[in-house]
Amino acid sequence: MVKYVSPELCDKYKHQVLEISPAIQYYEGTLARRESSSLSDQKIADKLGRDVDDVTEIRCIAEIDLLPAEAWIQAANWKHEAVLQSFKRQRLSRKG
Protein backbone atom coordinates (compact mmCIF):
# COMPACT_ATOMS: atom_id res chain seq x y z
CA MET A 1 0.00 0.00 0.00
CA VAL A 2 1.29 3.46 -0.89
CA LYS A 3 2.14 5.60 2.07
CA TYR A 4 1.41 9.32 2.08
CA VAL A 5 4.57 11.40 2.30
CA SER A 6 4.18 15.12 2.87
CA PRO A 7 5.68 17.48 0.28
CA GLU A 8 7.93 18.89 3.01
CA LEU A 9 9.32 15.45 3.89
CA CYS A 10 9.78 14.61 0.22
CA ASP A 11 11.59 17.88 -0.49
CA LYS A 12 13.82 17.38 2.53
CA TYR A 13 15.02 13.90 1.54
CA LYS A 14 14.52 13.43 -2.21
CA HIS A 15 18.01 14.51 -3.28
CA GLN A 16 19.66 12.31 -0.65
CA VAL A 17 17.47 9.35 -1.57
CA LEU A 18 18.24 9.73 -5.29
CA GLU A 19 21.96 9.96 -4.61
CA ILE A 20 22.08 6.63 -2.81
CA SER A 21 19.21 4.70 -4.42
CA PRO A 22 19.67 1.73 -6.74
CA ALA A 23 20.22 1.75 -10.49
CA ILE A 24 21.74 3.69 -13.28
CA GLN A 25 18.86 5.11 -15.25
CA TYR A 26 18.63 6.74 -18.62
CA TYR A 27 15.36 8.48 -19.33
CA GLU A 28 14.26 7.95 -22.93
CA GLY A 29 13.85 11.19 -24.82
CA THR A 30 15.84 13.21 -22.31
CA LEU A 31 19.41 13.95 -21.45
CA ALA A 32 18.80 12.99 -17.81
CA ARG A 33 21.05 10.27 -16.47
CA ARG A 34 21.27 9.13 -12.91
CA GLU A 35 23.94 6.92 -11.35
CA SER A 36 23.91 5.74 -7.78
CA SER A 37 25.65 3.73 -5.12
CA SER A 38 23.01 0.99 -5.32
CA LEU A 39 21.65 0.89 -1.78
CA SER A 40 18.27 -0.76 -1.25
CA ASP A 41 15.34 1.28 0.05
CA GLN A 42 15.73 -0.49 3.41
CA LYS A 43 19.43 0.44 3.66
CA ILE A 44 18.63 4.03 2.66
CA ALA A 45 15.90 4.15 5.32
CA ASP A 46 18.34 2.85 7.93
CA LYS A 47 20.98 5.38 6.87
CA LEU A 48 18.55 8.33 6.97
CA GLY A 49 16.64 7.16 10.03
CA ARG A 50 13.37 6.98 8.09
CA ASP A 51 10.72 4.32 7.51
CA VAL A 52 11.32 2.15 4.43
CA ASP A 53 7.85 2.99 3.07
CA ASP A 54 8.72 6.70 3.31
CA VAL A 55 11.94 6.13 1.39
CA THR A 56 10.23 4.07 -1.31
CA GLU A 57 7.58 6.73 -1.86
CA ILE A 58 10.15 9.56 -1.82
CA ARG A 59 12.30 7.69 -4.37
CA CYS A 60 9.35 7.12 -6.70
CA ILE A 61 8.30 10.77 -6.51
CA ALA A 62 11.87 11.97 -7.03
CA GLU A 63 12.36 9.74 -10.08
CA ILE A 64 9.10 10.98 -11.60
CA ASP A 65 10.23 14.57 -10.97
CA LEU A 66 13.30 13.93 -13.15
CA LEU A 67 11.15 13.50 -16.25
CA PRO A 68 10.40 16.66 -18.21
CA ALA A 69 6.81 17.60 -19.05
CA GLU A 70 7.45 16.66 -22.70
CA ALA A 71 7.91 13.02 -21.70
CA TRP A 72 4.51 12.97 -20.00
CA ILE A 73 2.87 14.60 -23.01
CA GLN A 74 4.51 12.13 -25.41
CA ALA A 75 3.37 9.20 -23.25
CA ALA A 76 -0.21 10.50 -23.13
CA ASN A 77 -0.23 11.01 -26.91
CA TRP A 78 1.18 7.53 -27.50
CA LYS A 79 -1.47 5.95 -25.24
CA HIS A 80 -4.24 7.92 -26.94
CA GLU A 81 -3.07 6.79 -30.38
CA ALA A 82 -2.78 3.17 -29.21
CA VAL A 83 -6.37 3.23 -27.95
CA LEU A 84 -7.62 4.70 -31.23
CA GLN A 85 -5.79 2.03 -33.23
CA SER A 86 -7.21 -0.69 -31.00
CA PHE A 87 -10.76 0.56 -31.56
CA LYS A 88 -10.16 0.68 -35.32
CA ARG A 89 -8.89 -2.92 -35.34
CA GLN A 90 -11.88 -4.09 -33.30
CA ARG A 91 -14.31 -2.35 -35.63
CA LEU A 92 -12.66 -3.85 -38.72
CA SER A 93 -12.65 -7.36 -37.24
CA ARG A 94 -16.38 -7.13 -36.50
CA LYS A 95 -17.16 -6.09 -40.07
CA GLY A 96 -15.45 -9.13 -41.11
3-class DSSP assignment, residue 5: coil
Single pTM value for the model? 0.65
> How far is Cα 9 from Cα 4, in angstroms, rounded to an integer?
10
All structural domains of the chain with their residue ranges: 7-68
By C-alpha distance, which of 91, 26, 31 is closest to 63?
26
Q: What is the pLDDT of residue 63?
A: 86
Give the tens place of pLDDT for each residue, 1-28. Answer: 578 999 999 999 999 998 888 665 555 6
Torsion of CA 15, 16, 18, 21, to 10 degrees: -170
